[in-house]
Amino acid sequence: MKKLLFLFLSTIFTLTTYAQDAKAKALLDEVSTKAKSYDNISIDFKYVLENTEENIKQETRGDVIMEGEKYRLNILGITRIFDGQNLYSISPEDEEVTISKASNEDNNTITPSKMLSFYKDGFTYKMDIEQNVQGRKIQFVKLTPIDSS
């Protein structure tokens, strides 16, 4: 399996709106196009929820392996497996497995298959910090929802 491991996005939700950044859009488009060209892909990511008015800053790390529309996502101690028809949510802490049919009703839900393109609608984006991690240049892009309600 081809593995593409990188820190995809640092997503920060605030109530401040940022102007669209052409360099950020170009980078997001390039990463999305390249990642979609692979038969399968593995992504490690960090999701940051920040609300300065409520003094909330929550960081969550996760990983996902995708092959077409199928995926295995690990986040918040839950494993979610989508086989193309059914979604299996496995909670070891609760010793529970939930099985549900695929639903296209909620278009606002960010699924792993949408992970590489969800930024195109409903978000502003701009270049953020750049870091050198184990000899690799990592460019962060800050995403902010347009409708933060």
DSSP codes, 43-69 = EEEEEEEEETTTTEEEEEEEEEEEETT
Q: Which pLDDT score, from 0 to 100, does residue 149 have?
A: 53
72 located within any domain: no
Q: Which pLDDT score, from 0 to 100, does residue 18 have?
A: 40
Helix (H, G, I), strand (E, B) or coil at 38: coil
The residue-averaged pLDDT of 101-122 equals 73
pLDDT at 49 over 80: yes
The gap between the terminal CA atoms of the chain, to the nearest Å, is 40
50 located within any domain: yes
Q: Which pLDDT score, from 0 to 100, does residue 19 have?
A: 44
Q: Which pLDDT score, from 0 to 100, does residue 82 have?
A: 92
Q: Which pLDDT score, from 0 to 100, does residue 104 have?
A: 62
99 located within any domain: no
138 located within any domain: yes
Distance of alpha carbon 49 from alpha carbon 56, whole angstroms: 7
102 located within any domain: no
pLDDT at 87 over 60: yes
Number of CB atoms found within 10 A of residue 46's CB: 14
Nearest to 122 by CA among 105, 140, 147: 147
What single-letter amino acid sits at 50? E
19 located within any domain: yes
Contact 44, 63 (CB under 8 A): yes
Distance of alpha carbon 45 from alpha carbon 25, whole angstroms: 19
Question: Could you tell me the two tokens for 26?
Answer: 């170009």
Which residues form the domain of 47?
Answer: 7-67+110-145
25 located within any domain: yes
| Backbone angle region of 69, left / alpha / beta, with phi > 0 → left and psi within -120 to 50 → alpha | alpha
pLDDT at 100 over 50: yes
The residue-averaged pLDDT of 130-135 equals 90
DSSP 120: G
pLDDT at 10 over 50: no
Q: Which pLDDT score, from 0 to 100, does residue 77 have?
A: 93
The residue-averaged pLDDT of 23-48 equals 88
73 located within any domain: no
pLDDT at 8 over 50: no
Structural domain count, the chain? 1
pTM of the model: 0.65
